[in-house]
Structure 1
């Protein structure tokens, strides 16, 4: 029995040592990479200057054409992340401020994600390689139920989120293999042909009266003299429950409602995502309303 316990103890110690070593190696690789995604690009950069930063989910990523802003002389990057929630948008902005980004305007896609304060594991996990290296990230995750496991158990986060930050992704980070996420100034165009669901029912959705992460983004902008522009983006004409956007307007009157600027199905790839043609129509309207050519600074527009 004594020999068995001794053997078990040695195996346990060896496993812990290996876990610590692997954690160190994986983290070291992520700390040297900045060309795979939007999160590692921000984390491993500093002192960037932007006229416009775009934040949000896929409804930001697919709807705001960065090049059109650039053509107007506005240095812009679309940091919208497909599948992301306001949890991730808030943390990404915090990292930008920590890294001394100078930002004049933040455009936040704020509509459907106002219904929750949950993290999106597929996106939030990409912050986890830096959990021990960033006080900002540690604090942001500190209220999560699994924080102690993620923070104190070596290599646990890499195992739990292997598809996102595990061995395959670590290898691509190590060889500096790029992705499409940073192309086109962060904007991802969807095809004109419909590829997704063209029917959507949002009757059951209800915006929170006080979304923690939305309020934090707004406060960060205020404290750093950043012009904050919150926008609801379009959905196709087949959507049931469009009064959701009226509920958002009532709870957050400062959010500009653009859900009906583009409505025809032919401008959508799926009911919640415009195709490239629709996105260009929408972006043109945003530029006209908030960044008119004659104005040296963004126009503050009354909410609809």
Structure 2
């Protein structure tokens, strides 16, 4: 029995050492990358200086064209991330503040994301390689159900999110395989619309007083960032467009630009404008908020 226990103990110790080594190896790769995605671009950066930073979901990523801001002399980057919630937008802004970014204006797409305070697994996972290297990330994740497993069990987070930060992504990061995520200053243009995509029903969505939106407001106040929160356009054939009025009842300061672009030919899908629509919308935003700058 004693020999058996010793053998089992050695096996367990070997597994633990292996997990620690793998955790260190994967994390080291991510700590030396800034070219594949927006999270590592921010995390592995030093103080940046921007006139305009754009945050939000795909409705930011696909709707704001930094080139048009740059044409007005405004240094801009679109940090919107497809699939992101306000949970991730708040964390990105915290990391920027932690790295002493100088930002004149933050444009936040705050519309459909107001209806929940959940994390987006697909985007939140991108922060997990750095959880032991940032108190900001640790604190932000600390209230989540699986925090203890992610933080205290070596390599667990890489197994749990293997499709997102596991071997394949680690290998592609290590070999500097390029992506298009950082192209066009972070903006991702969409193609023209497809018949059948011009329907949507958002009647089930209910805006709430959102703690992560409140965090974003507080971060901007503390760091002297000018915050412009906006709601972006949807196509005409949407059921439940009163959502935007309900959001304004909770947060009157959010600028409702839902109808700033009219015509389904400006949309790739009902919730996302194509490149022509995004350019038109960006011009509206520039004219409304930056015309005198």
Structure 2 length normalisation: TM-score?
0.98
Aligned to 2:94: 94
Counterpart residue number, 1:185 = 185
User: 1:51: Cα distance to partner?
Assistant: 0.1
Q: Deviations over 1:41-91 (max 9, x none)?
A: 000101110000000000000000110001111000000000000000000
Paired with 2:197 and 2:20, the residues of 1 have a C-alpha distance of 45
Equivalent residues in 2 for 1:69-218 (5 A)?
69-194=69-194, 197-208=197-208, 210-218=209-217
1:28 is matched with 28
Deviating runs (4+, > 6 A) in structure 1?
A: none
Any stretches of 5+ residues in structure 2 without a counterpart?
A: none
Assess if the C-alpha contact under 8 Å between 1:192 and 1:268 holds in 2. yes
Structure 1 residue 196, shift from structure 2 partner:
7.2
> SS at 1:235's partner residue?
coil
Give distance in 1, aligned partners of 2:58 and 2:193: 18
Structure 1: gaps (5+ residues): 297-304
Rounded Cα–Cα distance in structure 1 between residues aligned with 2:116 and 2:167 = 31
- 1:196–1:269 Cα contact (<8 Å) kept: no
Q: Determine helix, strand or coil for the equivalent of 1:26.
A: helix
Work out whether residues 193 and 269 of structure 2, in 8 Å CA contact, stay in contact via their aligned partners in 1: no
- Shift, 1:3, TM fit: 3.1
The residue that corresponds to 1:9 in the other structure is 9
Any idea what SS the aligned residue of 1:144 has?
Answer: coil
Secondary structure of the residue aligned to 1:269 is: strand
Question: Over aligned residues, Cα RMSD in angstroms?
Answer: 1.1
Preserved CA contact (<8 Å) 2:193 2:266? no
Offset, 1:195: 7.6
* Match in the other structure for 2:223: 224
Is contact 2:194-2:268 (8 Å) kept? Answer: yes
Number of residue pairs aligned between Structure 1 and Structure 2: 293
Taking a change above 3 Å as real, the CA distance of residues 72 and 58 of structure 1, as seen in their structure-2 partners, is: same
2:285 matched residue in structure 1: 286
Residues 105 and 225 in structure 2, CA contact (< 8 A), matched pair in contact too:
yes
Q: Secondary structure at the match of 1:107?
A: strand
Per the TM alignment, residue 173 of structure 1 is displaced from its structure 2 partner at its CA by: 1.1
Aligned to 1:51: 51
Equivalent residue for 2:274? 275
Q: TM-score, normalised by structure 1?
A: 0.94
